[in-house]
Amino acid sequence: MARHRKPAIEGIPRLLTTVYEKACRLVVESYYGPMAGRITARLSTGVILDLGTGPGYLPIEMARIAPNIRVVGVDLNLGLIRSARRNARQAGVSHRVRFETGHAAGLRFADRTFDRVCSTGMLHMVKDPAAVLRECCRVLKPGGEAWIFDPAKVASGADRNRYLASLTPVEKLIFRCFHLYTRINPPNRYSRWQIDAMVAAADFRVVHLSVTGREIEMVLRKQ
Ligand SMILES: C[S@@+](CC[C@H](N)C(=O)[O-])C[C@H]1O[C@@H](n2cnc3c(N)ncnc32)[C@H](O)[C@@H]1O
C-alpha cells in the first residue's frame, strides 16, 4: 500500500462539534441536497451506509429524496452523532435514518449488509484509508457501490460572514485556533498513485475515479 502522511488526530475532536455542525447547517441546500441526489440516483430501495457522517445532513437529505431507502450513519465523534439524531428527528426522518458511533476501518456490520456505502470528507482524516476501503467492500452486497468524495465542500461552501456571525465568542476562539492548527498541519492530500494503490487493495471494480488537485471522487463497484 502506498504510504501517506497519517493525520495526527483521527475524527473531529469533541471541542469542534458545534463549530463544525454550524458550518454544515449553512450548506444543506447547496451541498448536501445535490450530493444526496447524486448518491441515491438509480437506487430506489435498500440500505445505505454513510461513513464519517458528521451531523448527519447527507443521510437526512438522502432519506428525504428517496422515500424507500434507509440510511445508517457512523462517526467516531459521539457529540456529532447526538446532533445527527436530533437533526433527523427535526427533519421527520428518524424512522428511516439511524446514527451510531463506530470506526470506519472496523465496522460492526456483517458482510454483504448494504446496497451502497458513501462518504464525504472523511478519507483525508483516516489513518488507514486502504483498510477503510476494504471495510466498505466487505459490508457491501455484491454489485453494491461505494461513493466516496473528499474533501467535503463545507468550509469552502459556507458564507464566511454568516458562519462567523452564527458562532458564540468561545466557538469563534476555537475556530481560530483550529484554523491556525490546520495551517501548521495541513489536511492530508493523496496523489493519484496513492489512490490507485488504495483501490487496488480492495476487491472493487472502478466505475468512476477522478483526482483533481485535492479533490477526489470515486465510485467503486464490488465484484
Ligand atoms: C470533515 S467531516 C465530514 C462529515 C460529513 N460527512 C460531511 O460531509 O459534513 C469528517 C467526519 O469523519 C469522521 N471520521 C474521521 N475518521 C473517522 C473514522 N475512522 N471512522 C468514523 N468516522 C471518522 C469525523 O469525526 C468527521 O465527523
| pLDDT one-digit tens code per residue, 145-187 | 999 999 988 878 888 999 999 999 999 999 999 889 888 888 7
Please, what's the largest Cα pairwise distance for the chain?
51
What does the pLDDT read at residue 1? 45
Q: What is the CATH number of the domain that holds 144?
A: 3.40.50.150
**What is the pLDDT at residue 81?**
98
How far, in Å, from the CA of 97 to the mean position of ligand 1?
17
Count CB neighbours of 152 within 10 A: 25
State residue 141's pLDDT score.
98
Domain region containing 65: 14-222
Q: Distance from the CA of 46 to the center of ligand 1, in angstroms?
A: 23
Q: Is the CB of 145 under 6 A from ligand 1?
A: no
**Calpha distance 17→86 (Å, rounded):** 14
54 C-alpha to ligand 1 centroid (Å): 5
Whether ligand 1 lies within 6 angstroms of the CB of 125 is answered as yes
Gap between the Cα atoms of 62 and 46, Å rounded: 12
Number of domains within the chain = 1
The verdict on residue 72 lying in a domain is: yes
Torsion over CA: 194, 128, 204, 200 (sign): positive
* pTM, to two decimals: 0.94
- ω before 59 within 30° of 0 (cis)? no
Q: What is the pLDDT of residue 183?
A: 87
Distance 53 CA to ligand 1 centre (A): 6
Residue nearest to atom 17 of ligand 1 (CA): 11
Q: Is the CB of 19 under 6 A from ligand 1?
A: no
Q: Where are the beta strands (DSSP E) in the chain?
A: 46-51, 69-75, 97-101, 114-120, 140-150, 204-212, 215-222
186 within domain boundaries: yes
Residues in the chain, pLDDT under 70: 1-6, 8
**Ligand 1 near 154 CB (within 6 A):** yes
Residue 187, pLDDT score = 77
C-alpha cell read off for 206: 472502478
Question: Is residue 8 a part of any domain in this protein?
Answer: no
